[in-house]
Amino acid sequence: QTIKVRLKTNPYNILISESSADFVAAFKKVFRAKNIFIVTDSNVAKIHLKSFSDILKKAGFQTSFAVIPAGESGKSIASLSSLYDKALKAGLDRKGCVIALGGGVVGDVAGFFAATYMRGVKFVQAPTTLLAMTDSSVGGKTAVNTSGGKNIAGTFYQPSFVWINSFYLATLDERQLKNGLAEVVKYAFTFDKNFYDYLQDVLEKGIIGADEFNYMIFKSCSYKARVVEKDEKEVTGVRAVLNFGHTLAHAIETFTKYKKFLHGEAVAAGMLYAAKLSLDLKLCGKETFLQVKELLTAAGFVFNFKNLNALKLLELMKKDKKSVNASLRFVLLKDIGKSISDAEVKDGAALKTLKEFLREN
Ligand code: NAD
Ligand code: ZN
């Protein structure tokens, strides 16, 4: 299956396929030179680098590669700097292509690298985590962290092409899979009641095979692509809907120094909180809140917020870069599949709901 991302200056395709022949055929349409530089991380390198690079070699490309440390610590200026050196040594020139083979960390670093190496070379995403397949590989955000914080240095740089092969998910552990599911259910909550019903059914039964993953990825990428088309660089506000659950999530991640929770786990909490806030502000009914809770439970999220401090979280939410004039803004729900972006919420109301939320979970 192919999803088109119809951007004015740089439109591209997302190919969802387990066939490397499909990949090579589609790749050759966007890239005619020979020289490919693969960026991956130390975990993915052990499992998938050789077979991936063999596909390209067999197709007549010359490949070289660089491995960055696995995990968030790999999303650093040090990694970026090592990529410039390795690419130069490997002879990557302006006609070459960078391929990110890995999760969101690899995608973000390799994307930033591709955007800046010799003022920009072609870039292809080959995501290997569910989070990267359903979220980070589409949309063109690239970044590295600095000692000052997350995603501090970055730019928008769209890939020329995305190849999603759900076969890679077979080697991903349960916790990382669930991490990606949080973004998948996010699309259902904010855009699509039918997709909600589908996920509820599949996740409750707990049988998720290639077909189910491919469908989830297809739906997620389709929604993300539609939003990105309308607001490529996050200026019109349309893209804000993708932040459902993320206001509290970012505060939780900062408060726990990115150590205790994975992003998806924090987002799951943030979505439940946003649903409760929607209920408390009478934007949605009790039914909608319970439906959010049910799907998160079916997806396997359990909440344990001992040691989280409501006042501190509120303070962090107000500092969120998305808040305007220090007033709190949330994506809230009217119903499953119907969201309100950018709802302003008074500090007192947000805090009252947050205190209850932390007590209840
Ligand atoms: P990750 O890239 O750190 O991958 C998670 C772990 O899984 C790592 O240890 C990795 O080595 C391992 N791994 C990856 N693929 C594997 C596979 N197929 N088999 C076995 N192990 C595998 O984390 P992530 O959740 O994919 O991405 C998180 C990053 O993405 C964060 O830095 C976040 O800021 C960024 N992000 C970016 C965007 C965007 O729009 N650019 C959106 C969301 C998140
Ligand atoms: Zn997210």
pLDDT at 236: 87
Nearest C-alpha to atom 21 of ligand 1 is from which residue? Answer: 172
16-44 pLDDT, tens digit per residue, is 999 999 999 999 999 999 999 999 999 99
Q: In this structure, how many other beta carbons lie within 10 angstroms of the beta carbon of residue 259? A: 7
Residue type, 271: M
- Residue 303 binned pLDDT confidence (cut-offs 50, 70, 90): confident
* Domains in the chain: boundaries: 2-171, 174-360
ipTM reported for the complex, 2 dp: 0.99
d(C-alpha 293, C-alpha 301), whole Å: 9
d(C-alpha 146, C-alpha 72), whole Å: 11
DSSP bridge pairs for 327: 324
Give the 3-state secondary structure percentages of the chain, helix then strand then coil, rounded to 5: 55, 20, 25
Q: Which CATH architecture has domain 174-360?
A: Up-down Bundle (1.20)
172-214 pLDDT, tens digit per residue, is 999 999 999 999 999 999 999 999 999 999 999 988 999 999 9
Q: At 39, give phi and psi (nearest 5°).
A: -110, 130
Residue 241 has pLDDT above 70, yes or no: yes
d(C-alpha 201, C-alpha 43), whole Å: 33
C-alpha of residue 112 to centroid of ligand 1, in Å: 15
pLDDT at 149: 87
Domain 2-171, CATH: 3.40.50.1970
129-175 pLDDT, tens digit per residue, is 999 999 999 999 999 999 988 999 999 999 999 999 999 999 999 99
pLDDT at 324: 61
Binding-site residues, ligand 1, Cβ < 6 A: 41, 43-44, 47, 70-72, 75, 102-106, 108, 128-129, 131-132, 135-136, 139, 141, 168, 171-172, 176, 179, 263
**Residue 121 to residues 81, 97, 149, 272, Cα–Cα distance (Å):** 16, 6, 27, 41
Residue 265 has pLDDT above 70, yes or no: yes
In which residue are the tokens 């939320």 written? 357
3-state secondary structure of 52: helix
Q: Which two tokens stand for residue 239?
A: 């893209």
pLDDT at 321: 62
DSSP state of 303: -
Nearest C-alpha to atom 6 of ligand 1 is from which residue? Answer: 71
